[in-house]
Copies of this chain bind each other. A is one copy, B any other.
Amino acid sequence: MNVFIVYAHPEPRSLNGALKDLAVETLTGLGHTVEVSDLYAMGWKAQADGADFLDRADPGRLSYARESGHAFAAGTQTPDVTAEQEKLLWSDAVILQFPLWWFSMPAILKGWVDRVYAYGFAYGVGQHEGERWGDRYGEGKLAGRRALLSVTMGGRAPHYSTRGVNGRLDDVLFPIQHGILFYPGMAVLPPHTVFQANHLPDDRWQEIAESWRARLRGLFDEAPIPYRRQNAGHYDTRQVLKPGLGTGEGGTRIHLLQPGEPSERPIGAQHQRADRHQ
């Protein structure tokens, strides 16, 4: 299988660098083909701006979404963006390797999302009218792929626990896991985490490495987070969860399928695996 690692850390000798190297070694050893985008080494342009479009639909006033759609359709995106989109389409699984900075991605990785996730590629896909509001949340051009966050954190695990002061980890990561990975159709695995990453005694590395290898071995077998699909019958025409679903849960957890609930509708097969060859 093809695995695409997007890696965002400025120091090759960092824990993040070591986890990225270990992933390449482990996945290659398992017979997979691995591609890495090392954003710092590539000098990735983080800020999204008018220079991202080689031929502007409206040179007078920049609407990023409009120009993104125009450039994606017309083939006038910058080559760095096109190359990343091709790696995403080539992949069977995507791993994002980064340190959690201020409860989100480093800016350089956010800029990868802002620029690579073009209109017509990651959003603005499919019909937006009547009962449908796009092929998103479980459908979209990246359907059929798996996605996994591998995140290091300076904080301690209890700070991110269900009642921890930072917010529980699945809430903190919801904008990324649900809003960036599941949105264009990927199946999202539970995150892989290393806490207290700034104070790592050498003897913790073996344990960290073994735990990461175990996750990598399960990359194509683990059950994804059971996020509800937008267009599978659980949301109404305003894209609001229907009554009777998600009862007994609050916050982001209402968007997870729960035992005993009515099944989701199957989504047309053309929105699944076939999409990746478009």
Chain A residues with CB under 8 Å of chain B are: 10-11, 13-14, 40, 44, 46-50, 61-66, 99, 101-108, 110-111, 113-114, 117, 133, 137, 154, 156, 158-159, 161, 163-168, 171-172, 174-176, 178-180, 183, 198, 230, 235, 238-241, 246, 249-255
Contacts and interface: CB of A to CB of B under 8 A. Distances in A.
A143 B6 CA distance: 37
**Copies of chain A in the complex:** 2
Nearest to A246: B163
A62 B14 contact: yes
23 contacts: A11-B62, A44-B47, A46-B111, A47-B106, A47-B107, A47-B108, A65-B198, A102-B110, A102-B175, A102-B179, A102-B180, A103-B175, A104-B175, A106-B110, A107-B111, A108-B111, A158-B239, A158-B240, A167-B174, A172-B175, A172-B179, A250-B253, A251-B251
A10 B64 contact: yes
B105 A110 contact: yes
A108 B11 contact: no
Contacts of A158: 238-240
A240 B164 contact: yes
Rank and list the top 8 A-B pairs by shortest CB-CB distance, nearest first.
Answer: A251-B251, A250-B250, A107-B111, A103-B179, A46-B46, A103-B175, A11-B62, A158-B238
Contacts of A198: 63, 65-66
B107 A252 contact: no
Contact of A49 (B40, B62, B114): B40
Given A104-B104, A104-B175, 14 more contacts: A10-B47, A11-B50, A46-B47, A46-B111, A48-B101, A63-B198, A65-B154, A104-B179, A133-B159, A156-B238, A156-B239, A158-B238, A166-B239, A250-B250
A162 B156 CA distance: 30
Contacts of A250: 249-251, 253
Nearest to A228: B165
Nearest to A166: B179
A14 B66 CA distance: 13
A146 to B, nearest CB: 19
A110 B163 CA distance: 26
